[in-house]
A and B are shown apart, each in its own frame.
Chain A
Amino acid sequence: MLKYLLKRLFWMIPMLIGISLISFFIMHLAPGDITTTEAGFNPKASEESRQKLRELYNLDKPVIVQYGLWLERMSKLDFGNSFASHQRPVFWQTTDENNNTKLGMIQEALPITLLINVLSMGLIILIALPLGIISALTQNRLPDRSITLFVFIGFAIPGFWLALMLMYWTGVAHHWLPISGLHSMGADKLSGFAQGLDTLKHLILPVFISAITGLAGISLFVRNGMLEVLHQDFITTAKAKGLPEGTIIFRHALRNALLPLITIFGLSIPGLIGGSVIAESIFAIPGMGKLFFDAVLMRDFPVIMGILTIGSALTLVGNLLADLSYAWADPRVRKGVMQ
């Protein structure tokens, strides 16, 4: 088992290098760099000074040399500083000789995105599990049909439109919820508990929107998994034995039906750090999606590479975790891994 784990971990290194190499080259295939986006079209900015900036950022060197420089920094776990946002560190805070601390860009954006995604993931599971089970038990009857219709509407509805409508309804028409942002004006004068409540109120709509669009996937997964299991022989046996309905559904059927969900959760780990650009822009939330999108538009290479590297590392770790927990949950798979 340990050998298997070490082997998997070891193979991640060449994989990460390969991913970063490809990302780096694709990123440089897009025309333009920071000097074209920053003051690129202002007659007061001269071409000489832009060339000077290119040299300062090493953008005048061949791409492969730039990649080498990046890899050298990364080997020391140094994600570098952003071009566009006044040399802020990409990943984690740094402190200079005057004791001024500059917070990292990912460091600041990540907790917000993580909080929203974890909350909405929790909400999705809370709602999708019962919906999926009810659907499966009432297959092709009214409850099943209406649940399917409901989750598909949630899936198909444009998130930004629903967000704006709900913002109007809960924020302008009725003053129930704040419209955008994370904190109310003057919230820092409130007590700690009231501040938490204030932030929670700001999170209701973003979490709700991201949950409703994600509901369809999980609930249909649960429904189909349940249906498949319910038609198997051991369920018939259990029924023949005269076990109570609840025991059959929750002890025998559900536990088997949930196995594939492990894979889904493993694969959604990298998704937890990627925010939605549209939702974050509309709700004015400074999260990862907005950070990445702005970095791409500005050609802010260190930030793009930083987010891509963390994202791909998490994808690999997520895969590994999914495989491991699958093995833990399912004896049939465990046997395969051990061999």
Chain B
Amino acid sequence: MTFIRFFLLLSVLLLAACSESTRTPYSQLDQQYAVESGGTMVDALSGEPSGLIAMLAGESSASAIAGNIFNSLLKYDKNLELTGELAQSWQVSADKKTITFHLKPNLKWADGQALTSEDVLFTWKVMTDDKTRTPYGADYKLVKNASAPDPQTFVVSYAHPYAPALDSWASLHVLPKHILQGQDINNSDFSRHPVGSHYYQLASWKNGESISLVRNPNATQGAPKIDRLMSRIIPDKAAQFLELMADNIDSMALNSVQYARIFPARPELNQQFNLYKELGNSYTYLGFNLKRKPFDDVRVRKAFNYAIDKQEIIDGVLLGLGEPVSSPYKPGTRWSNPKLSPYPYDPEKAKSLLAEAGYSDHDGDGIVDKNGQPLSFEILTNQNKEREMTAVLIQRRLKEIGVDVSIRVVEWATFISRFIKTGDFSAVVLGWGLGQEPDQFNIWHSSQQEPGQFNFIGYKNPQVDHLLESGRLELDPDKRMKIYHQFAEILYQDSPIVYLFAGYGLPAIHKRVKGIDNPAPPAGIGHNSYEWYIPSTLRRNEISAN
């Protein structure tokens, strides 16, 4: 019994130790404040990065953190147009094979050493080294010759003109030669103690718990307003939401239920948080194995496209928080063809297209058939709630035009290696990126159908092949735009996949963080995060045990 008494005493002590924190009245949150520096912003990460060299780590959490530490030569601005980051300017030679980057003057690493074109050259060498364990080396291996003729200039030349090159230089984080030279990059401690040149530098990394960044005094792009960024690793979305409600984190990415159901029902949340909506970087589609019957028939594919109600999927699966797409590019950016609009929901047209292709219900069992074969197939998808629900809605709509669909859900690694690589599937619900770079050679070119390559649906159209090839050779943005508009239009007519939707990213950010663009530009709200600020009266009490 003494034990029980001891425990009671302990719990009373513990409860007493947690004092109620003093809170800012909600009304103060909506006032206007002057811009000022300082403060800490806390957000939540669902996964822990494996390291902070993004090209080796690969996962999105690594890119998210490393993006605040490292610079690239180029970057995308708020409208997703390329602009200089470390580079002040760049020129493409007349034969389009050579790109010359001029670095900004007086660039420095966080440790005070000068950042020069030698560092860029070194990074390129690391990326193309056969011993480097990265899956992302392909773009850089196309460089025939790279050189750093003087500390401000970096020159790369390609065997053929290669338009996606500029995008590749916008995604390569420049690494410091003076620290990494002679080290084995795969095992280097650098990935956990990085030295970069961007707004922030690593302050601490507690495994599995949190990663803290602090302002870099030598930042190449000027000083950000907020002093410290802290990312807490909280794998469970529900737990993240509780932490947000308790005001222990400033921001998180909501799911559609939290955004569309919980927030409207709780006024006290709306008083504390601003909600944002930004179009995500990927779209979900229904893809067909074009090497199999009946998917080789464009009329059947179009019939499926007309039979599926995309708005219903957006309303049902995303609670309305998404947009239909009609090309593989972000609506509203230059690459997206404004003439295209999604196939309307038209079951009658779908039925007549099927009849045209020879499918009608001869035996009266409710399933259309041709030569005695009923039209039935299996939709495969991975364990992803959105995709599973989408598949169910598709199943129901296709049933209405007499197509029998079954659904199979498998784990991701199994999905890829057992079904996609071997081509052993009829139809899949999957997602592709809405690229900032329009080149989609790897996904649509007919040469990319080997196991492990990305044209696994087996799409083959000589016209598209030609457009994709010429798009890679063309560096002039306006001419490129015409090429990719035409490419999207042919894809739209061929309907090798049914574009379903692009979901919104739904960040909720505490109102103490000011200076955020609303509505979000195409690049999302994060494009000017260095200008965000937290007025000192609204800051959280930083050294508190609760």
Contacts and interface: CB of A to CB of B under 8 A. Distances in A.
Q: Do A and B bind each other?
A: yes
Interface of A: 30-33, 35-50, 52-53, 56, 81, 84-87, 96, 98, 100, 102-103, 108-109, 126, 164, 167-168, 171-172, 175-187, 189-190, 194, 197-198, 200-201, 204, 281-286, 290, 297, 299
A84 B134 CA distance: 12
Contact of A167 (B21, B183, B239): B239
A44 B416 contact: no
Looking at chain B, what size class is its interface with the partner chain?
35 or more
Contact of B417 (A32, A171, A282): A32
Contact of B450 (A47, A103, A297): A47
A318 B454 CA distance: 49
B145 interface: no
Contact of B208 (A84, A100, A108, A189): A108
B246 A197 contact: no
Contact of A164 (B206, B242, B543): B242
B418 interface: yes
Contacts of B17: 197, 201
B134 A175 contact: no
Contacts of A183: 206, 209
Contacts of B450: 47
Contacts of B246: 171-172, 175, 179
B207 A108 contact: yes
Contact of B234 (A49, A171, A181, A204): A181
Of the listed residues B135, B234, B242, B451, the one surrounded by the most CB atoms of chain A closer than 10 A to its CB is B135
Given A36-B417, A179-B239, A181-B209, A50 B18 contact: no
A278 B52 CA distance: 27
A49 B239 contact: no
Given A52-B130, A85-B50, A181-B234, A41 B207 contact: no
Contacts of B230: 185
A86 B51 contact: yes
B307 interface: no
Interface string B412-426: 111011100000000
Contacts of A38: 58-59, 135
Nearest to B171: A44
B324 to A, nearest CB: 23
B189 A96 contact: yes
Contacts of B18: 175-177, 201
10 contacts: A46-B138, A49-B135, A49-B137, A52-B130, A53-B133, A164-B238, A179-B243, A186-B543, A200-B14, A283-B239
A190 B191 CA distance: 29
Interface in B392-431: 411-414, 416-418
Contacts of B59: 38
A171 to B, nearest CB: 5
B95 interface: no
B413 A299 contact: yes
B443 to A, nearest CB: 6
A178 B443 CA distance: 47
A300 B230 CA distance: 28
Contacts of A100: 189, 193
Contact of A31 (B233, B239, B414, B546): B414
Given A37-B413, A86-B191, 5 more contacts: A96-B189, A176-B15, A181-B210, A183-B209, A184-B546
B248 A44 contact: no
A98 B21 CA distance: 45
Contact of B135 (A35, A84, A175, A285): A35
A301 B546 CA distance: 39
Contacts of A281: 235-236, 239
A110 to B, nearest CB: 12
A122 B258 CA distance: 38
Contact of B416 (A36, A48, A179, A286): A36
B16 to A, nearest CB: 10
B478 interface: no
A41 B7 CA distance: 52
A47 B452 contact: yes
A30 B135 contact: no
Contact of B50 (A30, A84, A187, A299): A84
A36 B418 CA distance: 11
A37 B382 CA distance: 13
Contact of B413 (A164, A181, A297): A297
Contacts of A286: 48, 207-209, 233
A81 B4 CA distance: 45
Contacts of A185: 42, 210, 230, 232, 248, 542, 544
B413 A87 contact: no
B34 to A, nearest CB: 26
B234 A87 contact: no
